Structure 1
Amino acid sequence: MKAADSNRTGSWPGLWRDADFRRLWVGQTASQFGAQATQVVLPLIAVVSLNAGPGQLGLLRAVEQAPILLLSLFAGAWVDRRRARTVMVSADCGRALALGAVPAAYLLGVLGLPVLLVVALLVGVLSVFFDVAYQASLVRLVERDRLLQGNSALEGSRSAAQIGGPALGGTLVSLFSGPVAVVMGAFFFALSSVSIGRIRGREQVPARGEGPVRIRRQILEGLRFVAGNPSLRAVGVASALFQFWLAALMTVYLLHLPRGLHLSGAAVGLALAAMGPGAVLGSLLAARLPGRFGYGRVLVFSAVVADGVMLCVPALHGSTTVTLPVLVGVNFLFGTFGQLVNVTMMAVRQALTPVRIQGRVVATINFAGMGLTPVGSLLGGFLASHWGLRTSLLVTAAALALSPLFMAFSPLARLGRDLPYAQRPGPPSVCRQQARSGARTAPKP
């Protein structure tokens, strides 16, 4: 009886006793280590080894992000018709193989920007499918009233990856070479596929319907659901404003650290890795603060602090001994409050969405929130080329404030301490039965 009571109350011990959740957590942690290392290593190879300019770096980042715009909606409908575990395993195996092409090209003497662009595109395509599948899979594994804790654990692992991934990638690039660092990313993706492949829980796969016609209908259903819910619509718009300007900022940032501030690859990795400890703290706070102060207050306040602190970066001058500690502090705060926003928004989205269309809603919000990031990356490269690094940093950092400003006047700011669930919280078996029967309760704004 005690174990059962623990499971019903959604306690942490009950959550961690779930073997499938542990396997998902381990796989997600490894996958995020691979992703975080790759996001640093590929640009560093372009900048340090291939002497890429601002426009070329912007193009590389845009190519990796373009699949979000092109494939997110299709991926959502596709994932909702298949087992999330199979999608995640296939995606990580594919990412490991794609990264393996970089050291192969290096050994053959043909490594150049075209090879990096192809690898970045393949990794970007597979990342779209993995990200949609993993966010949809959590709802199929745990009870609805444990979603905030489950998200906190998964986002905590992503935060840990933000500590180790960039630092490890930057250090390996400095000590050895980019191709050696890429191998580490491939290893983590392979490890993820093994762990997630061991998930034993059976998933109910919906009927595949009428092929392409059915997929188009499902995509439209996801779009209409998000557009018709004021809170979900606000999540999409706020995410779009943030991700667009963050993509522009990070393109300039990755150029400014080694060229404007003359940091080594290891120092760049350390500066970026500082977001990780902050994000760990943010994940822990996200499991408690929304229920105490209200989801709306936490979202708006955290977004203001996270985005505002980035205005410190353009003011940095001087030697590494001065700038590096300040960068660490800025990134720590950005990681803490940015992660608090991320986990809280994810809990809002999952609570407002019926189980049967989780994949499509994830994809729709990803499409709305991150679809324009390739344009943001290109804009960052353009601004860096024509306005200089410091001015471009100031403009893009200031533009981040548009996201919390929008949230302050949106329905998100009015969310209280309790979320209006689209379906009553219950065990995965109940949720799967609701999905099979097509039951759906319209969420409240």
Structure 2
Amino acid sequence: MWRDRDFRRLWVGQTVSQLGEHTTLVVLPLCAVLTLDAGAGELGVLRAVGQAPILLLSLLVGAWVDRWRTRTVMVLADAGRALVLGAAAAAGLLGALGLPALLVTGFVVGALSVFFDVAYQASLVRLVERDQLVRGNSALEGSRSAAQIAGPALGGALVSLLTAPIAAASGALLFALSFLSIRRIRRGESVQEPSQERSQRLREPTQPPSRRPPRVWRRIREGLRFVVGDTSLRAVCLASAAFQFSLAATMTVYLLFLPRELHLSGTEVGLALAATGPGALLGSLLAARLPGRFGHGVVLVSAAALGDGAFLFVPALHGSSAGTVLALVAVSLVFGTFGQLVNVTVMGVRQALTPDGMQGRAAATITFVGMGLTPLGSLLGGFLADEWGLRLSLAVTAAGMLLSPLLMALSPLARLGRTLPARRLLVD
């Protein structure tokens, strides 16, 4: 697999792009909190605006990606994010980088990230054989873990030690480097008309074009029906929705709790967040072995419970001592390890059960259902922080993440064994 030049180019580009994304995810909120003195409600709005494209665009993007070359989608998304962040950096140098500019930047970067993320998940299936999907996912998720190590630390340090424009410019540079790597992929991609769409066209040869529903909406419905019709994929959606909604609320409070309740500097905040990366790297390595040894269902439920439960220890911390920072690092390490183990295992389950022509739409549908509520979660986190205070709000939102392993334990996912079932075929 590593001998394949195109896979290496995808891996390098995805790694650098994820580094830019994780840097930006820290830079924009910290700019609002530390530079613009944004309150809990304003931070909730900023995070919600950046997450809104997941709800608004995921299904459309999934339908489009299945009809486009994934290389083209990723290259355009990288170029767009580099330009937008470059413009934000220029605005900052001119003294015009206020909260409205951050809101616009967050929305556009979030929208283009939806395109990139759906496309790179579909691209792996088109580049490697099915029996190499687990290894390929482990490599790509491992690179994302490495980005999680450096991204938050880089973003926190740049905002704290230098300036917000330089922090934004660093993200633009990383997206530009990803653009240069992915555009060198040379392997052609065959984008075939799905059997359902083709059979419907053949059954209705005389139907006037004006009476047909637009093709993109028909393809979106096919993706929704496929995911809803598979009990395992449906459970993935529900568990993901519960987790992502609670995580969005938790992280909104968490980003305020660290600097204002524990009085940590931007660099210390970045260090605490970056500790998720080494854990995620370990989780990617474990994902290549544990499901085949203990069973996919056991791994999913137990890893989700351990990883999500780690955040319950954070509200008990006080002060900005070295012990507090080390405790936060430990929490992030555990969360990253078991969270990534769940991510890679779920991705393998989804890819194994989904036909090639449905990969983009299945990924987008799960993203839409799973992460579509994150804007509301971010708003809820900001509201609770204002009404209940940071410490109580963090305890409540962190406890909400445990709904995810509970839902998986009550679903067919918990019964998945050491080998995954054969993928379900599309029928005309």
TM-score class, shorter-chain normalisation, is over 0.9
| Aligned-partner Cα distance in 2 for 1:212–1:163 | 46
- Paired residue type of 2:61: A
Query: Which residue in 2 is equivalent to 1:109?
Result: 95
Are 1:73 and 1:219, in contact at CA under 8 Å, matched by a contact in 2?
Answer: yes
Report the AA paired with residue 56 of structure 2.
Answer: L
State the match for 1:241 in structure 2: 242
**CA positional deviation for 1:441:** 5.2
Distance in 1, matches of 2:183 and 2:191, equals 17
Instruction: Tell me the TM-score normalized by structure 2.
Output: 0.94
SS at match of 1:16: coil
8 Å CA contact retained: 1:82, 1:206: no
Q: Secondary structure at the match of 1:200?
A: coil
Name which of 191, 195, 200 aligns with 1:205.
191
Give the structure 1 partner of residue 388 of structure 2. Answer: 387
Aligned partner of 2:324 in structure 1 is 323
Q: Please give the per-residue CA displacement for 1:268-317, whole angstroms capped at 9, x wherever unaligned.
A: 00000000000000000000110111000000010010011110000001
AA partner of residue 168 (structure 2): V
Alignment partners' CA distance in 1, 2:30 and 2:233: 36
Give yes or no for the alignment of 1:376 onto 2:377.
yes
CA contact (8 A) 2:81 2:175 kept: yes
Question: Mapping of 1:150-189 within 5 angstroms?
Answer: 150-189=136-175
Alignment of 1:242-321 (within 5 A): 242-321=243-322
Say if 1:422 and 1:441, in contact at 8 Å, map to a contact too: no
SS at match of 1:205: coil
Q: Deviations over 1:347-399 (max 9, x none)?
A: 00000000001000000000000000000000000000100000000000111
Cα deviation, residue 205, structure 1 = 2.5
Match of 2:11 among 17, 21, 25: 25
Partner of 2:26: 40
Amino acid at match of 2:352: A
Q: CA deviation at 1:173?
A: 1.0
Report whether the alignment pairs 1:351 with 2:357.
no
How do residues 65-214 of structure 1 correspond to structure 2 at under 5 angstroms? 65-206=51-192, 213-214=214-215
Letter in 2 for 1:143: E
Instruction: Supply the AA of the counterpart residue of 1:421.
Output: A
Structure 1 stretches lacking a partner, 5+ long: 1-14, 424-439
The corresponding residue for 1:397 is: 398
Cα RMSD (Å) of the superposition? Answer: 1.3
Instruction: Give the aligned length.
Output: 412
Q: Distance in 1 between matches of 2:216 and 2:88?
A: 35
Shift of the alpha carbon at 1:104?
1.2
1:339: which partner in 2? Answer: 340
User: d(CA) in 2 for partners of 1:309 and 1:16?
Assistant: 35
Secondary structure of 1:345's aligned partner: helix
The aligned amino acid for 2:52 is A
Q: Contact (CA 8 Å) 1:79, 1:87: kept in 2 or not?
A: yes
In the TM superposition, what is the alpha-carbon distance from 1:212 to its structure 2 partner? 7.0
Conservation of the 8 A alpha-carbon contact between 2:58 and 2:114:
yes
**Separation in 2 of the partners of 1:441 and 1:99?**
41
Instruction: Give the Cα separation in 2 of the matches to 1:207 and 1:235.
Output: 27
SS at 2:214's partner residue?
A: helix
Deviation by residue 1:103-129 (Cα, 9 ceiling, x = unmatched): 211122221100000000100110111
TM-score by length of 1: 0.91
User: Aligned letter for 2:223?
Assistant: G
SS of 1:335 mapped into structure 2: helix
In structure 2, distance between residues paired with 1:166 and 1:101: 21
CA contact (8 A) 1:304 1:401 kept: yes
Post-superposition Cα deviations, 1:145-172, rounded to whole Å, max 9, x if no partner, equal 1111111110000000000011011111
Runs of 4+ in structure 1 displaced over 3 angstroms? Answer: 206-212
In structure 2, what is the Cα distance between the partners aligned to 1:275 and 1:56? 25
Displacement after TM superposition at 1:322 (Å): 1.9
Equivalent-residue separation in structure 2 for 1:164 and 1:263 (angstroms): 19
Give the unaligned 5+ runs of structure 2.
198-208
CA distance in 2, matches of 1:36, 1:395: 25
Percent same amino acid at aligned positions? 70
Contact 1:351 1:419 in 2 (8 A): yes
What is the distance in 1 between the residues matched to 2:100 and 2:140?
Answer: 34
Shift of 1:207: 5.2
Structure 2 Cα separation of the partners of residues 248 and 157 of structure 1: 26
Q: Tell me, yes or no, if the aligned pair for 1:160 and 1:280 is still in contact at 8 Å.
A: yes
Shift of 1:182: 1.0
2:221 corresponding residue in structure 1: 220
> Contact between 2:245 and 2:377, CA under 8 Å: does it hold in 1?
yes
Cα distance, 1:91 vs structure 2: 0.3
Could you list the per-position Cα deviations for residues 25-61 of structure 1 after superposition, in whole angstroms to 9, with x for gaps in the alignment?
0000000000000000000100111110000000000
- Alignment partners' CA distance in 2, 1:27 and 1:415: 33
